[in-house]
Amino acid sequence: MPELPEVETIRRTLLELVVGKEIKKVSVFWPKIIKKPIEVEQFKDALVNEKITDINRRGKFLIIYTDTFALISHLRMEGKYGLFKEEEPFDKHTHVIFHFTDGTELRYRDVRKFGTMHLFLKGEEHLNLPLSQLGPEPFSQAFTKTYLQEKLLKTERKIKPALLDQTIVTGLGNIYVDEALFRASIHPERKAKSLKDQEIVLLHQEIIQTLSEAVDKGGSTIRSYVNSQGQIGMFQLQLLVYGRNGEECRRCGTLIEKTVVGGRGTHYCPTCQKSSLK
């Protein structure tokens, strides 16, 4: 699933590809992706003659702005955007197409069909679900160490599920939570409220640092991610623990273990991330 850095990379790529283009028609082949308005015909009609003016991001959501509207798009597990010429064929996994007046089209492809789109009048997008429930962006001024500490002290949860909660901080997913906890030497099953002051200082730093390294990496190689089919791909930071179960810890050589925390596959080093402080 794309997390903040991947969505940011997609945002920057889309910005170069589609800003300024005018929509002449919208096709929707899988109406359940469109969550608002309820009537898919309204969604399609509203966007005709609209020009794409900007693309923002909030957490893992893309916000595609047109003259009048804000289209909020969440890619969930498998959603992908790509820019194509209209004569190029598309497959059965392409569910939404924004046809532009210049003969190109932005296609949304989603094998699992879990992605969502909400259309709001510009200005209303942040006042309503899904964006209204999101916590601060990790790179924003609101995300301070004190803020994080207050939130963690209030929850009975373990640290990993607390960090996955998008209302506390938005944009972290399974991969970067595992990475940030490793880098801060915190066991994923520690109770969030048990973290010491110094641990929270480090965790706060590592959340920002891990995500910003990943964003920088994506940003620096952005062009290589649009492949010959116009599909925007993913990059990945070199990961220290995620997906490395059974391999040696890059810091101490202990084998990385995998467990399940809050229903999510979780990778950690049993030596660097002690659970004894529970």
Contact 66, 125 (CB under 8 A): no
Residue 115 sits at φ, ψ, to 5 deg, of -65, 160
Helix (H) or strand (E) holding 177: helix 174-183
Alpha-carbon gap, residue 131 to 56, rounded angstroms: 12
Q: Pick the catalytic residue: 12, 58, 60, 80?
A: 60
Contact 177, 171 (CB under 8 A): no
Q: Does residue 249 bind Zn ion (CB under 5 A)?
A: yes
Give the nearest residue (CB) to Zn ion. Answer: 249
Q: Which is nearer to Zn ion, 93 or 251 (CB)?
A: 251
12 is catalytic: no
Per the structure block, which two tokens stand in for 252? 């101490």
- Angle at the Cα of 274 (from 268 to 278), degrees rounded to 5? 115
Which span sits near Zn ion by CB under 5 A: 37-45, 134-142, 189-197, 250-258? 250-258
Which span sits near Zn ion by CB under 5 A: 59-67, 68-76, 146-154, 263-271? 263-271
264 is catalytic: yes
60 is catalytic: yes
Which of 153, 252, 255, 277 contacts Zn ion by CB under 5 A? Answer: 252
Per the structure block, which two tokens stand in for 37? 């308005």
Which span sits near Zn ion by CB under 5 A: 31-39, 153-161, 223-231, 248-256? 248-256
Tokens 């259309």 belong to 119
Alpha-carbon gap, residue 134 to 191, rounded angstroms: 22
Three-class DSSP category at 131: helix
For residues 208 to 247, the per-residue mask of contacts with Zn ion, x marking binding by CB under 5 A and - elsewhere, is ----------------------------------------
Q: Which is nearer to Zn ion, 71 or 269 (CB)?
A: 269
Per the structure block, which two tokens stand in for 165? 């909660």
- Residue 173: DSSP 8-state: -
Q: Does residue 251 bind Zn ion (CB under 5 A)?
A: yes
Q: Does residue 269 bind Zn ion (CB under 5 A)?
A: yes
Q: Does residue 186 bind Zn ion (CB under 5 A)?
A: no
Q: Which is nearer to Zn ion, 153 or 277 (CB)?
A: 277
Q: Which is nearer to Zn ion, 83 or 249 (CB)?
A: 249
6 is catalytic: no
Alpha-carbon gap, residue 171 to 228, rounded angstroms: 29
Residues that bind Zn ion (CB under 5 A): 249, 251-252, 254, 269, 271-272
Which positions are annotated as active-site residues? 2-3, 60, 264
